[in-house]
Amino acid sequence: MRIVFATGNQDKMREIREILSDLDMEIVSMEEAGVYMDVNESGTSFSENAQIKATVIAQELQDRNQQAGTIVMADDSGLEVDYLHKEPGIYSARYLGKDTSYTEKNNTIIERLHGVPDEKRTARFVCAIAAVMPDGTILSTNESMEGQIGYEISGQNGFGYDPIFFLPEFGKTAAELSEEEKNRISHRGKALRAIEKMIREHLV
């Protein structure tokens, strides 16, 4: 049994392999499985987009007769900033343009919250994960991590919006957490552990 995860992001793949290591399955990215395609994420929620991605990749593998013994997983995740009416939301990766650096994206969000007090800087990371099982069953889960938008970019450990996502209970940003700390509390960590449990129950 193997897992094909619909991402080309190696930072994300490292997190996924770390958290799902107990499943004792080979975990590969879609590119490593020989699938090179851009899936049109036309959903209106994180959950819909994750299911669209997983289903399209599973169908592609099935068309190639490579779906047997394979669980296809996909996630859609992003940042919701309450003061910005939950922007960037499902457009997090494409916010300000797909090729815009995260330094620029992060600085823009900080600028848009200029003068906004702590209590109105609430935000969350959301992660939805869908898994298409070898028998065609679709499992899905949705988890989040609450925090607030910081006043400056801080930290080297994370990626994406981590350097501006401040966690009051830790007194630091998501990019200042160790990998172990982040995996324990992050939206993706929670969602991966939830989907792992669902996969185990389904395979019994």
Mark residue 159 as left, alpha or beta (left: phi above 0; alpha: psi -120 to 50; beta: remaining): beta
Q: Does 122 have pLDDT greater than 90?
A: yes
Q: Is 24 a catalytic residue?
A: no
State the Rg of the chain over Cα: 17
Give the count of beta carbons closer than 10 Å to the beta carbon of residue 103. Answer: 10
Q: What percent of the chain has pLDDT over 90?
A: 84
pLDDT at 187: 94
Q: If you ran DSSP here, which 8-state letter would residue 153 be given?
A: -
Q: Is the pLDDT of residue 47 over 90?
A: yes
Cα distance between residue 2 and residue 70, in whole Å = 5
Catalytic residue among 75, 76, 82, 99: 76
Task: Flag the least confident range among 9-13, 25-29, 131-135.
Answer: 9-13
Note the CATH number of domain 2-203. 3.90.950.10
The domain locations on the chain are: 2-203
Average pLDDT, the chain: 94
